[in-house]
Structure 1
Amino acid sequence: MPIEVACHLNVLVPDAAEPGLTRALGALAELGYSHVVLPPFDPDGAPLAEWAALFRDHGLGPITMVGQAPGADVSSADPAEQERGAAALRRMVDATVALGGDQLNGVSYGLFGRAATAPPREAFERSAAQLGRVADAAHEQGVTMTFEVLNRYETAMINTAEQALDFVAVSGSDHLRVHLDTFHMAVEEADMLEAVRSAVPVLGYLELGQSGRGALGSGSVDAAAVVREAITAGYRGRIGLEAFSRSVLSAVATEVLAIWRDTYTDGAAIAAEAIDIVRSAEATVGSREGTA
């Protein structure tokens, strides 16, 4: 079976509002994508049944995202705040099920944003234990939970594949998975390919993001090499595209993500290039294995 390929919705449109959502899903389905990653949303106010029908109609599986908020943070030393953070994660697991999805990504281990100091080891361990419990419960509902490794300017908790492996081990969960993103890896990893190889046993999502947040074919990240390395190392999970442009994102998202430039204007073209890169890399590995 070919590798399943996902695309972040914000590559094409700023949010899940209509008529943009239906147009974006149609474009991704036509390009051959299997999944779409949704930007964060309020599970209590979203039209889950309506969205679920749209995903089914376009043959696309939804991948949801979840985070933490001040006062609801699993890494907090306050048990009540920890529980509120875990409850937010569980609500999004339920929303994922309602949408017909089977994967939940996100920065689920703590607050997003640059920290003044690195969190203590105790915060790391508290967060891992909470996520492990949620991941095990999510597995029972048919949902795989991953956590994204970010660069130092977006979190001080987990910046490298090595730290992510430690986090999984501390969690005590057999079901918690790692989400690696080449945009962040380009900042933090001394050897990106080795980092990918090391994480394959617990890798649940491999995201391709270029150094400048634009087209995969222009920048310092060799996306094709990353895909080839992952597949050669035995990875058969989903591979996703993430790209951001100021002309496409919402005003709020551009500020949060520091997207100051128009890195592209045609999201469908970016998505077309990305899936071609993945399929070509996949075919190259298959050809090597066929002649070995």
Structure 2
Amino acid sequence: MRTAVTLSRVAESAAGPFVFHDPLAEGFKKAASAGFDDVELFFPGPDAVELDAVKALCDQHGLGVAAVGTGAGMVKHGLSLTDPDPAKRDAALEFIQAMIEFGGKLGAPAILGSMQGRWGGEVSRDQALGWLADALRLAGETAGRFGVPFIYEPLNRYESNLINHQAVGAKWIEAESLSNIVLLADLFHMNIEEVDLAQAILDGGRHIGHVHYADSNRQAMGFGHTDPAPIIAALNEVGYRGTISAEVFPLPDAETAARQTIQSIRQFLPGC
């Protein structure tokens, strides 16, 4: 498995659970210094940073790009795939497709989290899930052109009421025959929703394609009450070989959160 740490350049997410919020060059330097293999990038949009600048920093620091987030589409532009306004749904899909292409050129998948939206009011759950499935079909197809999957993240109930559990996500992917779509197993969201985190990993099985490694309080693993041992065992059991990424608050500071994360990962996965 590979290790990654989050680096956000979205001003609207300054208080969000990302380890580094530094200018890009400094963030890459800190990620490499902490011992991570990759960075997970969150940009305001696909044109926020020159692709060549990211590639140069990867080469300079020996880092890869594990994934790119699409959350700025929601926090910055107020877009979601389940908005009752069809024009906003179209704009949301356009934003996501552009982020898929940006990430794809770096060999990195894109993540759908907050931009999935929610159902309610004039939008029924079935209608919202139908729109979401249609969008994921297109997203999976676009990502496939770059040889990467598209990552769908089940969120906790306070952030979305669409799909909150790994097992439900896996069954939904199969029921909708969604191609090239994988699940993100975010341990913070799972701590809220799942009865047993290890069993949830087993339930997600082969559909899990990315992991956010966070403790129960969204701090670095070891600063809350999550036990990583059975989770790592479950990941090994399902044959997971993807990325373990730190999407956590920079507490008590970014460097400490980064060091704590990599220490925890190496404790339970000595080969990382």
Superposition TM-score tier, normalisation by shorter sequence: 0.7 to 0.9
Say whether residues 1:264 and 2:260 are aligned partners: no
Note the C-alpha offset of 1:78: 5.1
Note the C-alpha offset of 1:170: 4.1
TM-score (norm 2): 0.84
Say whether residues 1:38 and 2:47 are aligned partners: no
Deviates more, 1:174-183 or 1:55-64: 55-64
Q: 2:110 is matched by which residue type in structure 1? A: L
Counterparts of 1:95 and 1:233 in 2: how far apart (Å)? 30
* 2:3 aligned residue: 5
* 2:70 aligned residue: 66
| Helix, strand or coil at the partner of 1:172 | coil
| Helix, strand or coil at the partner of 1:122 | helix
Counterparts of 2:256 and 2:140 in 1: how far apart (Å)? 35
Residues 199 and 51 (structure 1 numbering): CA distance in 2 closer, same or farther, change over 3 Å? Answer: same
* 1:150 aligned residue: 155
Residues 26 and 133 (structure 1 numbering): CA distance in 2 closer, same or farther, change over 3 Å? Answer: same
- 2:110 aligned to which of 94, 97, 104: 104
Structure 1, unmatched stretches of 5+, are: 246-262, 287-292
Identity rate, percent:
25
Residues 137 and 42 (structure 1 numbering): CA distance in 2 closer, same or farther, change over 3 Å? Answer: closer
Residues 71 and 24 (structure 1 numbering): CA distance in 2 closer, same or farther, change over 3 Å? Answer: closer
Aligned residues: 259
TM-score (norm 1): 0.79
Say whether residues 1:279 and 2:259 are aligned partners: no
Deviates more, 1:82-91 or 1:180-189: 82-91
| Helix, strand or coil at the partner of 2:82 | coil
Residues 279 and 115 (structure 1 numbering): CA distance in 2 closer, same or farther, change over 3 Å? Answer: farther
Deviates more, 1:181-190 or 1:209-218: 209-218
Task: Give the RMSD, CA atoms, in angstroms.
Answer: 2.7
| 1:172-183 to 2 correspondences below 5 Å | 172-183=177-188
Counterparts of 1:133 and 1:109 in 2: how far apart (Å)? 15
Note the C-alpha offset of 1:178: 0.3
* 1:250 aligned residue: none
Structure 2, unmatched stretches of 5+, are: 9-17
Counterparts of 1:89 and 1:202 in 2: how far apart (Å)? 21
Higher radius of gyration, 1 or 2: 1
* 2:249 aligned residue: 244
